[in-house]
Every structure is written in structure tokens, then in C-alpha cells.
């Protein structure tokens, strides 16, 4: 009577399975990162830079997601109201520097010129300045 070969789970099978799981995890992370979900801002829409530059008062009291590069800290701002930064935004169609107020609760966050940040912001009524609700380094 002929013997049948046993199929065995070899170390090569284990490596292939782990590589497949790793690849799926990497792809999932990249997809979530692109939507802003990894920062917790997924439920917030992207700020339309052109609309903001034309009439920021129309967007008053709404919350948006932005990503930009810190250009400079504006020192003439009262520190009791937080810190005011000039942030360069580029949405592919428009490129502009906007004022972003970082409240006192983020004073422990080190923000320096040239760094990229993702911000969840609210448009202040009257001034149109963007006030940070949450932030993370990009």
C-alpha cells in the first residue's frame, strides 16, 4: 500500500502569513492616515482655503481640519490669549499664510518655525482668525 504525503505547516508558511498580515496593516494605516482618521480629525471637513480667503466671516463658528507649515510666531499677540502663529497652507490649488491662535492649554506643545502640524480649528466670528481645538505634528 502506497504512503500518502502529509502536508505540514512549515516555517515558510508562517513567514508568508506574517508578511501578508503586515502588508494589510501597513496599507490600512496609510489609508487612515490620508483621511485624517489617525489624528482623530476624520469627522471634520477640510477647510476650503479659497472660500476662507474670500470671506472668512461666512465660515464663522464652524470647525475644520487644516495642515500647514509654521512660518513665524507673531509676538505682538497677548500671551494670556495663547500664541498666534502664521501658518502656510497649501491645498494644491491655493497657497496662503493664515493666522492661527493656539490657546494656552497647548503651551506645553513645542511649536517651532518650519514644523508641519495638523490642526482642528474653529473660525472665530468677527475676526476670522482660526483658533486651534486640537493639534498634532504631521
pLDDT tens digits along 44-89 = 999 999 999 999 989 999 999 999 999 999 877 777 778 999 999 9
Residue with cell 486651534: 132
Q: Which class is 44-137 in CATH? A: mainly beta
Q: How far apart are CA 49 and CA 102, in angstroms?
A: 19
pTM over 0.85: no
3-31 pLDDT per residue, tens = 776 777 788 888 888 898 988 888 887 77
Q: How far apart are CA 46 and CA 74, in angstroms?
A: 25
Structure letter (DSSP) for residue 82:
-
Amino acid at each position: 500500500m502506497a504512503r500518502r504525503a502529509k502536508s505540514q505547516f512549515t516555517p515558510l508558511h508562517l513567514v508568508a502569513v506574517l508578511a501578508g498580515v503586515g502588508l494589510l496593516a501597513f496599507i490600512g494605516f496609510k489609508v487612515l492616515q490620508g483621511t485624517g482618521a489617525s489624528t482623530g480629525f476624520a469627522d471634520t471637513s477640510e477647510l476650503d482655503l479659497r472660500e476662507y480667503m474670500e470671506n472668512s466671516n461666512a465660515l464663522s463658528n464652524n470647525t475644520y481640519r487644516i495642515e500647514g507649515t509654521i512660518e513665524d510666531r507673531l509676538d505682538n499677540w497677548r500671551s494670556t490669549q495663547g500664541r498666534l502663529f502664521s501658518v502656510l497652507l497649501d491645498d494644491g490649488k491655493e497657497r496662503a499664510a493664515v493666522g492661527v491662535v493656539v490657546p494656552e492649554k497647548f503651551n506645553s506643545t513645542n511649536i517651532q518655525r518650519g514644523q508641519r502640524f495638523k490642526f482642528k480649528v474653529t473660525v472665530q466670528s468677527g475676526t476670522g482668525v482660526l483658533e486651534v481645538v486640537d493639534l498634532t505634528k504631521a
